Amino acid sequence: MATTFRPQVRSLRRRTPTVPTSEAGGDRVLHRRLGRLDLIAMGVGAIVGAGIFVTTGVAAATKAGPAIMISFVLAGVICVLVALCYSELASMTPVSGSAYTYTYQSMGEQSAFLVGWNLLLELVVAGSAVAIGWSGLFTATLHSLFDVTLPTAITAGPGAGGVVNLPAVLIIAAIVAVLVLDVKLTAAVVKSLVALTIAVLVLVVIIGAPHVHTSNWAPFAPFGAHGIAAGAALAFFAYLGFDIVATSAEETKNPGRDMPWGIIGSVVIATVLYVGVSAVLTGVAPYPSLNNEAPVATALAAVGAGWIGKVILVASVIALTKGLLMLFYGQTRLVFAMCRDGMLPRALSVTTRRGAPKRLGIALGIVGAVIAGLLPIDTVAELVNIGALFAFAVVAIGVMILRYTAPERARSFRVPLMPLVPVLAIAGCVWLLTTLEALTWIRFAVWTAVGIAVYVGYSHHHSVAGRTEDATEVTTDTPGVPA
């Protein structure tokens, strides 16, 4: 009985190597080709999506009123606190995997697997949800600009009255094609799409600013402090995605210097954009009038800029495209790290000569296309939020653990005001977790239970760290002495 239990206890102590795997060579490596601007663009691309044209108005109308500006700042502060923790760990361990890899080093294999398992669900569900949203928006744009109406049979899955959501499947295929070719191509596409999105947002501010009436900002906080807090909880989910930057650490030329810029810089830029748009929106129109499907377009149309609605439609398609690209990028890099470590089938971690995980990209693309093309996913979309918050809290805990268990490790970036910053980050995540519905927690528990079964049945026995540990035991254990 003792010998059976011993491997399970040992797995709690398993840690990944501190030296980046990419330095070891072989056919399971990613190439360092990304710079600081690439990382910032990828972060902004992951955070700022089409939701900025809707979330700002709806949150103002239903949660915080004009004080939604404060809500975005509060949400941005929580994200910066978490981003600081990510930055220190990324500078210490510049390899792929993000929160999964950091947890492996700070808390061990079992905890790392559960973090990676929940992040996998978050990214796959989010990717499929965005693909379905992209399909609907693309169809609406075709109709608005060219009066072309696609049949429901090819624009919706069986659960929505159609046969297959073909646009969703095709956009995923295009995204996967970009991802499996070259990371520099991915970064170039993201930078171009981010530039177009920011240009449209700046245009919205320029058009709306002259029509701002400060009287629309009174009362500034009609729902009180509770409304500002509720708005911050909603606004926080508009920031999800900045952690995807951390998955590119192994592909960054100078991760110790540039990862903090990419992670923190993207959050700051997103905050400025969110606050700017919400300030103009609530200043142009009374906040109660913003509770509709296109609040930005509606508000600007009321001041004589009706044409902006079509521009925003096109910009929304662009924003969703870059968001989808980043979600699939993030999930391939996360699962790549898990496969390379033996947590999932290791054959999927083989890369091309250009350093792209081609097999994995195609496999995840097929999964995403099936979900987006055929299945209704509304009932599981909430799991995106809980998976991300769980990972954020674990990363903040990991920073504190490694400060005291591995103080000698090189850190080109250090979280200031230790341990205050990670403690506040954890508190912020816990607070936001309390805003989620009970059903979301039940689904989270079920998925986690499935993950535990996968770890016990497969990952524990195929772990690279575990096999190395067992091989070492064989050569060092004294024969005849019971374990």
Domains of the chain, first to last: 30-461 (1.20.1740.10)
What is the per-residue pLDDT across 437-452, written as a single tens digit (0 to 9) for each? 888 888 889 999 999 9
Are the C-beta atoms of residues 142 and 317 closer than 8 Å to each other? no
Residue 40 pLDDT greater than 50, yes or no:
yes
Angle 291-292-294 from CA coordinates, rounded to 5°: 125
Question: pLDDT-based confidence at 215, cuts 50/70/90?
Answer: very high
The CA distance from 171 to 369, in Å, is 9
Provide the angle, in degrees to the nearest 10, between the axes of the packed helices 109-146 and 358-374.
60
pLDDT value of position 12: 56
pTM score: 0.87
What is the per-residue pLDDT across 228-261, written as a single tens digit (0 to 9) for each? 988 888 888 788 888 888 888 888 988 888 999 9
Are the C-beta atoms of residues 42 and 241 closer than 8 Å to each other? no
**DSSP secondary structure code for residue 479 in this structure:** T
What is the per-residue pLDDT across 128-156, written as a single tens digit (0 to 9) for each? 888 988 998 899 899 889 899 999 899 88
Phi and psi, residue 23, nearest 5°: -75, -15
Are the C-beta atoms of residues 168 and 423 closer than 8 Å to each other? no
Burial of 390 (0-12, 13-18, 19+ CB in 10 A): buried
Average pLDDT, integer, range 307-326 = 90
DSSP string, 378-434: GGGTTHHHHHHHHHHHHHHHHHHHHHHH-TTS--SS--SSTTHHHHHHHHHHHHHHT
pLDDT value of position 478: 44
In angstroms, what CA-CA distances link 135 with 53, 141, 166, 234?
17, 10, 8, 24
Question: pLDDT-based confidence at 21, cuts 50/70/90?
Answer: very low
What is the per-residue pLDDT across 393-419, written as a single tens digit (0 to 9) for each? 999 999 999 999 989 888 889 999 999
- E strand or H helix at 446: helix 438-454
Are the C-beta atoms of residues 228 and 67 closer than 8 Å to each other? yes
